[in-house]
Structure 1
Amino acid sequence: MPIIRCRKSSIFLAGLITLMPLLAAGQKKIALPKTPVQARADQLEYDRENELLFLRGNVQIDQPPWRVRASELEIELKTNLARGRNGVRISRLKDGQEQEVLAADRAELELDTQTGILVNARLTMPTETGEVFIKGERLERVSENLFLFNAGSFTTCQCPEGRKPDWEVKAKTINADTQGSAKMRSAQIRILGQTILYLPYLEYPITDQRKSGLLPPELGYSSRYGYKTGLPFYLVMGPSADLTITPYWLSERGFLTGAEFRHNLGDISKGSLEGFAIDDQKDHAWRWSGKYQGESRWSSGWLRENINWISDNEYIRDFDPEMGGDDRWRKEQDSSIILSQNLPGSNLSAEFTRFDDLAGYELRESDELPPDSDQTQLWLLPQIRNQIFNRRIAGPLGFDMTSNFDYFYRQDQSLGRGAELDLTPRFTFTPHLPPGIKALAFAGYQGSVLYPEPAFSESVSYLTNPVAGTRLGLALEKIFDPASPGPARYRHLFEPEIIIRYKGESDEPEDRFFPQIYHPEERGQVGLRLSNLLFRKELEPNSEAKLVSELELNQFYDWVEGQFYDFEIKGSVQSPEQYGLNLNAYYNFDENQLHRLHTQVWVQDSRADRFWVGYLLARGEVKSSWYSYPQDSDENWTGGATIKLTRNYESGYQIAYSQKYKTVVSQTLRMKYLARQNCWAVNFAVSQRLNPEDPAAEPVYSTSLNFQLLGVTPLSLSTE
């Protein structure tokens, strides 16, 4: 048998297949592979008579995007069939990186189609959070992305070859689509080698694409509703929408059903709708909650929604925060819909605002709490504003106009409702000034129409009053040494401004409702506002400037009333992944009293350990130049920490202390464990809460336990 031998060979098989027949006259022409194939080996032998090519020692065949490695490989040149022994490794390459890896004891492959049979095979696929491993005694590669395993197993546990995974699914057959999911028949779910569940059919995603199906169960306990078990079902509704439905069993209250719908169209629109409902066996009433948060944007405007609704005030106190709110004892819950639309030369905006009183009882009468006062709450449904921008008449002289429509609504009509229409035309003066100096003066009249509800049987009020004012300020800007080396550039804006506002006296409204909310008295204000902004922009393509720090100071004086308004301080400082500070304060110099102080400080170290502390002080009435509102006296501290104790264990603690009641209001301990094989995680939380207004009442205890399988699909939405 004529045999040609070579050593340390690197050849193109397409060329070899063409040249080898020329060595023997009269040989028929042989079909070429569809794509170029390059082979390397320590030793190469060619059997001319049988048209067989033998490759031995460090064999590597490249046929993009595939690469085959083996100890020994035999290729039938007539059929382009390759047989490998003593360990075969097949990988799909992308940008030089392995995307899929097939390893087997033996393999028989079609070089043209890369289909074939593998014995004792293992498929490894990378994902965003780890890798997927599928094994089988026999593997048939049906097409480029489709694999059929017999007597196989599936897991996402990252464990070395030869070690048992923490969990796996054994199956009679596994049909794996590398662009979709693994479909397993006659499946056994095994944990630590022990079978815990038999299923005739199981489908599991093996790509980063979302997949409909059951999610891991949720377990918990609360002294308010007893033991809790839930089994979420996740439904993909397209590339930009999904729905999660979760039925819960609460041992002391019955079945509770929860659902969350999400959509994400990128910058165009995104939102989340969440709702819960239960036929409460303890209070014998249907109880529910709903929440929607969304935002939509278009070229000339935007829409924001923040809607919260509950069946009764006790709902938040009876159920866990995730079933109704972040703070069990907050006094009110607000909802709003805000629209802004730019028009040629003007802007139209509308706002719907609703407040729900949570301080009183509603479902169950209580001696410690007052009754619910929703009937007396005043809502704006809606508040519409149209502003015509300044238009020049001659030189610096111009004209603008603002119109407002407000409808004041109460559930109890006997307490009053009404509509107010305001129209404010103004002449403006904007002189030409050097760069960095800005000035505006205006004078005009405001006309108001006050229309009370017909139930009052009273006349409409027509009121007018003069308005005037001026603003004079600087706009100073500096960019810090843009030519200096470094990862970022800083931009500093400093804007001091003097503001004068005057509103003349008008007549009193002629009904009983509007005197509660309309202020006809004369007002004159002069104030100083300082604004300081610092931006940071990474020196990278397409990077956006981010706000690093901001500070705003406001101090106004009313010369008509002869009083100072509160000195306002608003500010924040943030260094990404290092530290941050938020501050909001109102101090009155006339009363020498701090009316409100709300601040929070946090720090984070290189291990991502995070510590924070917050403080809230509320006293008397906040008096701003724009608004004023009374406050319930309060003083409390909050604090907490999140610490990564080890690579696999994280713990967090949060506490709230009421200085007013001298007691801890709430505390929560959270723990998260990530398995060493990175294929499952457990989250555990235990919390204690009490009502600070009723310290003698029994505290509310809650626990929750969530188990999560890791390694495949995060529940995130595409923006395509």
Structure 2
Amino acid sequence: MPYTARIFLPAIAMLFVHSPAFADTDTTSIDPSLITSDEKCHKQAYPCAVAKNKNADDINTLPITINASSTAGDKEKITYEGDVIVRQGHRTLESDTMVLTTPGERQVTAEGNVIFNDGEMLIQSDRIQSNLTNQDTYVENAKYRLLCQSGRGEAKKVFKNGTTFYQLDDGTYTTCPEENKSWRFGAKRIEKKDDDIFADMYGTSFQILNTPVFYLPYLRVPVEDGRLTGFLYPTIGFLDEKDGISVQTPFYWNIHPQADMLFTPKLMSNRGTQLTTEFNYLVRPGNGSIITEYMPEDREYPGVEDSWGINWRHSGVQDHWLYDLDYSRVSDITYFSRHTDSQVGKREDSNLLQTAEVAYREDSWDAHLKVRDFQPLTKNSTVYRLMPQLALNYYGPNLPGNMSFTVPSQISRFETDTESKPDATRLHIEPTLTLPYNLPWLQASAEAKLLYTYYEQDVSSTLSNDIRSTLGSHTTRSVPVVRLNSTIILEREQPLWGTNYLQTLEPRIQYLYVKDVDQSQIYNPVSYKGGGYDTVRLQTDYYGLFRTNQYSNIDYINSANQFTLGASTRFYDDALKERFNLSVGQIFYVDRPFGSGEARVNYSAWALETEINVADHWFLKGSMEYDNNISKLQFANSLAEYRNGSFFTQASYRFVSKDYIASTLRNGSIDSITEDGISQVGLIAGIPITDRFSLQGQYFHDLTQDIKLENQVGLVYRDACWQLGLTYSEYLLSRGNISQEPKFDSGVSLSFSLLGLGANAGFGFSDNTKSALGYYNPYGLKN
């Protein structure tokens, strides 16, 4: 139930006075031995008792006890006076006096310091009166407080008409504690039908320090679990450099139990109005959502009209079928630089994905039909469309010795709008035989496969002469592969710094043979600048040393005759929680790849990975590649984080050498990509200043060009029932060049929210950071 619903809950107290305990019970059914006249009421704290009563219906079957200082009665009525306490389970009603009539009028009246507690709500009033025949109930000067959530309020009068309708006059609601008058909702009249999940508020005002700041003549809000068509609470932002003052007023449409839609118009004082819609659905083949954004005119960008974006995602499994769709598109390539808070994509995206896949699966085979396209968000993009790809994979039954036989295969069609690149059709079949051998301390496998690929490439007159002269219109390639891999797992107890750890040592060795074949007739990323239909070189790391292919797909298959040696060690504490690991490895070449143009060497660069968890406060992660052939560090990444309660800080560093970037290129100029490699640092921190003030910030800097990438600082004030945040953000738009200075975009936002109103309710809090980098959690040792 939304917390905002609790403004109407004083009337729920009436459920007690017309519950089965009263409505189905007269004075003759009460055990006289349970009525005492000397028990005194002792005021006490009222804890939440809902957890004690998992079955809410059980309490109505419990016996009722009535305690009072004195009792008097006849056939017409019974009067209890002096510290009257009525109990049924954890439910109580306290008052100075209580009068219970006999059958006929069947009316109960409690007066003087009335306190009702059902374990979920505490209500205080001057007088409660209920007719047990028609179940009409009146409450005067009611104050209520929720016991299981934050929330309280008042109502001058509460009237419940039987079991179908109730009304509150001059009702209020707030999540602020007692004596805190920061904010509250007020309404002249509140009405609700028992069979509805919503209530109607008339003459509604939002008040700060008891002063109304805005007024709504009518508001309809949900008061019980369920979905309701109507307006949600607005989100307000201030002082943004680009947007100005912004107001979002979401409207929720409950179309069907399996479909709904959210309309969110956003009014920006500097720019105009943008409409965002989100349609969610659930059908038998799965579920999905469609998000659209539309802005007819943008005053901040006078030359831009009809700015729009769309994203459609769907996924589902039905019997043997699998469905997956992800389609995004925007009106122009600069869309995300103008709409940094877009739900369609992010400003760091270079392409928007447009893909759909249907798959069918059986025990021994599966089939996939996929299409994939992109919307480029940069000029001169040369990405390939997959139109389409049909994959058929066979999984043979277990053969003698637990051997397995698989046959992955696919036929793909690649198309591009770039006339200087060829279209192609590719057929690939990869029969594979694998023999595993596993013991508690040993994991080993032997694998043999044949990679057969057939290409039909469109060698047109638009291609350059050097490409046309070497590219084959019809070409085949057969590459045999043999792979032997084994890992030994050794364990020992290792005392360290006064603590006993379980240490493992996991040496690993792999032999890989991939036959060297001529692939120059295939449009691949090694033989041709910008080549490769769906294949690029992968970054090398420790785990990458054991790959069969150093490229992402099959347009180029690197030859190999090599041994890979590696080792990992891990430390586990007494609770078997991993605290430290370190992996290091290197490739030793029997024969260097033929025709690569590289100097002959006997081994690859060293690759190292490590991760540390110290006392669940310090977390460190690092990786690097060092080439001792040239005595240079090729790349390195490191992250260090300290977290203690609400305080945290994370520092990061990223380095990629110019030589390493150049080694990934073919017939290209490294100077057009980077001047001196990549060297970037970042710092993110969240610092509690006091119990209510906290400071958050982040800063990223490019050391190579000595240029700021992103900068953000925010100050947040959090009270018991509201939150206020002031944020300044700045990020790099373009790096500039010799004649132009770098361009930055910046903004200041002031936002606030009301706490205790639940998700998607109340005034939204938005820091409007526009951050593309931000906090990164790569740590595997936190679990």
My pick for the range that moved more, 454-463 or 387-396, is 454-463
Comparing 330-339 with 564-573, greater Cα deviation is found at: 330-339
Report the counterpart of residue 436 of structure 1 in structure 2: 441
Which residues in structure 2 correspond to 1:83-482 (within 5 Å)? 83-92=109-118, 98-110=119-131, 116-125=137-146, 130-133=150-153, 135-142=154-161, 147-150=166-169, 152-160=170-178, 164=181, 166-175=183-192, 180-207=197-224, 211=228, 212-224=230-242, 227-236=245-254, 243-261=261-279, 273-279=290-296, 280-281=298-299, 282-291=302-311, 296=316, 308-322=328-342, 343-346=362-365, 358=377, 360=378, 372-374=379-381, 376-380=382-386, 385-389=391-395, 391-395=397-401, 399-430=405-436, 434-453=439-458, 460-474=473-487, 476=489
Q: Output the amino acid matched with 1:67.
A: T
Q: Give the partner amino acid of 1:56.
A: E
SS in structure 1 opposite 2:694?
A: strand
Q: Closer, same or farther in 2 for the Cα pair 1:55/1:143, shift >3 Å?
A: same
Q: Deviations over 1:346-367 (max 9, x none)?
A: 4556776656655x5xxxxxxx
C-alpha displacement at 1:288, in angstroms?
A: 2.9
Q: Which residue of structure 2 lines up, in the alignment, with residue 41 of structure 1?
A: 67
Give the distance between the partners of 1:169 and 1:710, measured in 2 at CA: 17
Following TM superposition, by how much is the alpha carbon of 1:527 offset from its aligned partner in structure 2, in angstroms? 1.7
| Deviation, structure 1 residue 223 | 4.3
Distance 2:257 2:606 in 1: 50
C-alpha deviations, 1:527-556, integer Å up to 9, x for none? 235566789999xxxxxx998777655533
Matching residue's letter, 1:707: F
- Report the more deviating stretch, 269-278 or 72-81: 269-278
Cα distance in 2 between the residues matched to 1:443 and 1:624:
33
- Give, as a single letter, the amino acid of the residue that structure 1 aligns with 2:631: N
Q: Which amino acid aligns with 2:729?
A: S
| Residue 365 of structure 1: aligned partner | none
What corresponds to 2:587 in structure 1?
556
Q: Deviations over 1:340-392 (max 9, x none)?
A: 8753234556776656655x5xxxxxxxxxxx112x22355556654434645
Counterpart CA distance in 1 for 2:322 and 2:571 is 26
Q: Secondary structure at the match of 1:105?
A: strand
Query: Who is 1:76 aligned against?
Result: 101
Distance, in Å, in 2 between the alignment partners of 1:190 and 1:41 is 42
Q: 1:470 to 1:272 in 2, by over 3 A?
A: same
**Cα shift at 1:396:** 6.4
In 1: Cα distance, 2:141 partner to 2:346 partner:
53
Paired with 1:302 and 1:494, the residues of 2 have a C-alpha distance of 38
Give CA-to-partner distance per residue, 1:483-513, whole Å, 9 cap, x none. xxxxxx9997957342413134156538899
CA distance in 2, matches of 1:286, 1:74: 71
Q: Hey, what's the Cα distance between the residues in 2 that align with 1:324 and 1:37?
A: 59
Shifted more, 115-124 versus 253-262: the winner is 253-262
Q: Against the structure 1 CA distance between its residues 311 and 434, is the aligned structure 2 distance closer, same or farther, given a 3 Å change threshold?
A: same
Q: Secondary structure at the match of 1:690?
A: strand
Q: Tell me if 1:711 matches 2:731.
A: no
Kindly indicate whether the alpha-carbon contact (under 8 Å) linking 2:712 and 2:727 is maintained by their aligned counterparts in 1: yes
- Give the alignment partner of residue 28 of structure 2, picking from 17, 37, 48: 17
Name the aligned partner's letter for residue 615 of structure 1: Y
The one-letter code matched in structure 2 to 1:425 is: P
Question: 1:700: how far off?
Answer: 1.7
- Listed as ranges, the matches of 1:566-585 within 5 Å are 566-570=605-609, 572-573=611-612, 578-585=617-624
Partner amino acid, structure 2, of 1:107: I
How does the TM-score come out when normalised to structure 1? 0.76
User: Does residue 87 of structure 2 align to residue 62 of structure 1?
Assistant: yes
Letter in 2 for 1:171: K
Change (3 A) 1:524 1:603: same
Deviations 1:8-43 (A, max 9, x none): xxx99969615999xxxxxxxxxxxx9665233242
Cα distance in 2 for partners of 1:548, 1:353 equals: 42
CA contact (8 A) 2:321 2:360 kept: yes
CA distance in 1, matches of 2:752, 2:140: 35
For residues 134-159 of structure 1, the C-alpha deviation after alignment (integer angstroms, 9 at most, x for no partner) is: x2222123457964212x22222323
8 Å contact 1:390–1:428 — kept in the other structure?
no
Would you say the 8 A contact 2:658–2:678 is kept in 1? no
Q: Are the counterparts in 2 of residues 157 and 165 from structure 1 also a CA contact under 8 Å?
A: no
Indicate if the aligned counterparts of 1:168 and 1:191 stay in contact, CA closer than 8 A: no
Question: Is contact 1:556-1:625 (8 Å) kept?
Answer: no
In the alignment of these two chains, the number of paired residues is 652
Q: Conserved in 1, the CA contact under 8 Å of 2:422 and 2:459?
A: no
How many percent of aligned residue pairs carry the same amino acid? 15
Is 1:595 the counterpart of 2:660 in the alignment? no
- Offset at residue 639 of structure 1 (A): 0.9
CA 1:683–1:284: 2 relative to 1, 3 Å: same
Moved more, 687-696 or 338-347: 338-347
The aligned counterpart of 1:501 is 513
Match of 2:597 in 1: none
Deviation by residue 1:240-294 (Cα, 9 ceiling, x = unmatched): 76543322234454332223455799xx977665443323451233333344667
Give me the whole-angstrom Cα distance separating, in 1, the residues matched to 2:615 and 2:257: 31
- Asked if the contact 2:135–2:161 (Cα under 8 Å) also holds between the matched residues in 1, the reply is no
**The one of 630, 651, 654 aligned to 1:616:** 654
Residue equivalent to 1:484: none
The residue that corresponds to 2:541 in the other structure is none
Unaligned runs of 5+ in 1: 1-10, 22-33, 93-97, 361-371, 482-488, 539-544
Distance 1:303 1:324, change over 3 A: closer
Which residue is equivalent to 2:54?
Answer: none
Counterparts of 2:397 and 2:404, CA distance in 1: 5
- State the alpha-carbon separation in 2 of the partners of residues 598 and 264 from structure 1: 42
Choose from 716, 719, 723 the match for 1:681: 723
Counterparts of 1:624 and 1:512, CA distance in 2? 17
Equivalence for 2:708: 664
In structure 2, do the counterparts of structure 1 residues 197 and 425 end up closer, same or farther at CA, with 3 Å as the change threshold?
closer
Q: Which amino acid counterpart does residue 77 of structure 1 have in structure 2?
A: T
SS in 1 for 2:151: strand
| Counterpart contact for 2:359–2:367, Cα < 8 Å | yes
Q: For the residues of structure 2 that align with 1:498 and 1:414, how far apart are their CA atoms?
A: 41
After superposition, what is the alpha-carbon deviation per residue over 1:587-639, rounded to whole angstroms, capped at 9, x for unaligned? 43334333332332222113x11111111222346599999998743221111
- C-alpha distance in structure 2 between counterparts of 1:480 and 1:80, whole Å: 78
The residue aligned with 1:6 is none
Please give the per-residue CA displacement for 1:168-204, whole angstroms capped at 9, x wherever unaligned. Answer: 2231344486984442113333332223333321123
**Letter in structure 2 aligned against 1:131:** G
* Equivalent-residue separation in structure 1 for 2:232 and 2:695 (angstroms): 28
User: How much has 1:165 moved relative to structure 2?
Assistant: 5.2
Q: Is the 8 A contact 2:68 2:85 kept in 1?
A: no
Partners of 1:621 and 1:383 in 2: how far apart? 36
Q: Which of 683, 696, 701 is matched with 1:652 structurally? A: 696
Structure-2 change in CA distance of 1:348 and 1:253 (3 Å): same
1:702: which partner in 2? 747
2:481–2:515: 8 Å Cα contact kept in structure 1?
Answer: yes
Q: Measure how far apart 1:119 and its partner are.
A: 1.1
* Structure 2 SS opposite 1:158: coil
Residues 1:177 and 1:156: Cα distance change in structure 2 (over 3 Å) = farther
Distance 2:347 2:694 in 1: 24
* Letter of the 1:122 counterpart: K
2:549 corresponding residue in structure 1 = none
Q: Who is 2:546 aligned against?
A: none
